[in-house]
Amino acid sequence: MTKSKGKVYLVGAGPGEVDYLTVKAYKLLSTAEVLIYDALVDEELLKLVPHNCLKIHVGKRGGLPSTPQSEINGLLVKYCQQEKQVIRLKSGDPFIFGRCILEIQALKNAGCDFEVVPGISSVTSAPLLAGIPLTDAVMSKCFAVSSAHQPDILDWEALSRLDTLVLLMGGKHLREIVDQLIKYGKNKSTPVAIIRKAGTSEQQVWIAELSTIVEHVKTVRLSPAVIVIGKIVSYGSFSEKM
């Protein structure tokens, strides 16, 4: 199949504000002809594209209305085949829970040229911005990352044994997360940090024990948020303590 002369760049925008954009992503945005972007992308990034760039917002935020993935795939293919330079802008890193594989498959099937541009993921940056090291020779010899969007399909018995656990998209399932970890033997006094809107001026951090964290944030809408569970949480410096 002959490739289109257009090209799609699947770009990671980083965890929050424009400061966390990579140099390569910045350069690509400055020459974009079509920008297809997600809900969590910082609005300041939209100012980096040329004034005549077509900007298409496609949502993709958990729990809220969003453009169907098949329609997003179609937009990428359509504008690439029109020989446009297309930027598909995703928050964080495009390969961390970003549905990038579905978009790549659609581009491959249509013979469209593409390139993936890594971004700084909230998996590692959110804990860092909250003063939490994910590894330590004693407290945290390993860490694991999981989406908690569907907590009922996770192996909580295995997750409960890990030194440090990082959960994305788990805000509205916090009670179930806590209950499952305690059920499978996680100490109730294990420290938990919740980092909301990491990398922005609105960043908030809550720290409490596993048994009490739900009570501390019961009136807060925890989206977007990164949850860190493990002894290493007590090692960091925080913007707010409970």
Give the pLDDT confidence of 39-82 residue by residue, as tens digits: 888 889 999 999 999 999 998 655 556 789 999 999 999 999 99
CATH architecture of 122-235: 2-Layer Sandwich (3.30)
Which of 42, 84, 163, 169 is catalytic? The answer is: 169
Measured CA to CA, the distance from residue 176 to residue 126 in angstroms comes to 22
pLDDT of residue 27: 97
pLDDT category of residue 4 using cuts at 50, 70 and 90: low
pLDDT of residue 42: 87
Catalytic residue among 60, 84, 186, 197: 60
Rounded to whole angstroms, the Cα distance separating 100 from 116 reads 9
Peptide bond into 224 cis (omega under 30): yes
Q: Are 174 and 211 in contact (CB under 8 A)?
A: no
Catalytic residue flag (residue 38) = yes
Give yes or no for residue 241 having a pLDDT over 60.
no
Q: Are strands 7-12 and 113-117 parallel, antiparallel or unpaired?
A: parallel
- Check residue 238 and give its pLDDT: 45
The predicted-structure confidence for 213-230, as pLDDT tens digits, reads as follows 999 999 999 989 999 999
> For 40-44, 118-122, 151-155, 202-206, which range has the lowest pLDDT when averaged over its residues?
40-44
| Alpha-carbon gap, residue 2 to 112, rounded angstroms | 9
The 10 Å Cβ neighbour count of residue 231 is 16
User: How far apart (Å, rounded) are the C-alpha atoms in residues 91 and 211?
Assistant: 31
Q: Enumerate the domain spans of the chain.
A: 7-117, 122-235
Identify the DSSP state of 34: E
pTM of the model: 0.90
Looking at residue 223, its amino acid is S
Task: Indicate the length of the chain as a whole number.
Answer: 242
Long-range CB contacts (within 8 A, 24+) of 98-101 = 98/12, 99/60, 99/69, 100/10
pLDDT digits (tens, 9 = 90+) for 98-141: 889 999 999 999 999 999 999 999 999 999 999 999 999 998 99
Quickly name the fold that domain 7-117 has. Answer: Cobalt-precorrin-4 Transmethylase; domain 1 (3.40.1010)
Q: Are the CB atoms for 211 and 150 separated by under 8 Å? A: no
**Topology match between the domains 7-117 and 122-235:** no
90: Cα separation from own chain's centroid: 8
Out of 7, 38, 84, 90, which one is annotated catalytic? 38
Residue 47's CB is within 10 A of a number of other CB atoms, namely 10
